[in-house]
Amino acid sequence: MQLAVLYDKHQPASHVDTCEAAARAVVELLASEAARTGQWREAVDFWRDGRIRKLVRRARGQVRWQEVQGVDGVSVEQQVPGRNLAAARAFVPGPVRPLDPRLNKLQVSGTELSDELPSASTEALVRVGISPLITMTTGKAAAQCAHAAQLAWEAMDEPMRQRWAADGHRVMVEGVDEQRWAADAGRVHVVDAGFTELDGPTETTRAWW
């Protein structure tokens, strides 16, 4: 699955808001009628049955961001008062090659947003914790948070999914200290295979609800 995050060098979003937007975008796509019963179902089911991978690209500025809105997927914009806009789009899964030229233009590595603000989604139903034992770029962290949110959605029963949908699939992303990380395994956890940035297998994120 390809994802794109809005990267505006003049008004950059925060790291945490971008990770939360990416997580929400993936769940919004999975929960959509098109993915569950419609035209995206076959592609999404094929991807979910295999090795689930996510690749986050950066759309530099509004021109690139608007270009990729024409590629099948779901966008989420997260606007927190007093902060710059965070936005992410999750695209319908497909082969890495050939890749839509509009996505192929977007850079993959080195997506980093350094504004370390705390999450504003403190009352979200789902919390995603990032491991204190590793360091990740924003792009990598966004992919791992999105994966944790996906596993949470997969594990939920339908009533809980409906509650989460009513909350806009909001996610609270937070750093977890080593003491809590050692004591609380979470309800789901993500182990990265080590294809990019990290040596695998490496546990990156956990989710609670």
Structure confidence by residue, pLDDT tens digits, 42-68: 999 999 987 788 999 999 999 999 999
**Sheet architecture: strand order including 202-208:** 171-175, 126-130, 202-208, 188-192
CB 48 within 8 A of CB 150: no
- Residue 71, pLDDT score: 98
pTM of structure:
0.95
- Residue 202, pLDDT score: 93
- Please name the amino acid found at residue 57: R
- Strands (DSSP E) found in 96-201: 126-130, 171-175, 188-192
- Residue 52, pLDDT score: 85
CB 93 within 8 A of CB 44: yes
- Residue 114, pLDDT score: 75
Which residues, given as ranges, of the chain have pLDDT below 70? none
CB 14 within 8 A of CB 115: yes
- Residue 24, pLDDT score: 98
The CA R_g of the chain, rounded to the nearest whole Å, is 16
- Residue 199, pLDDT score: 80
- Residue 193, pLDDT score: 84
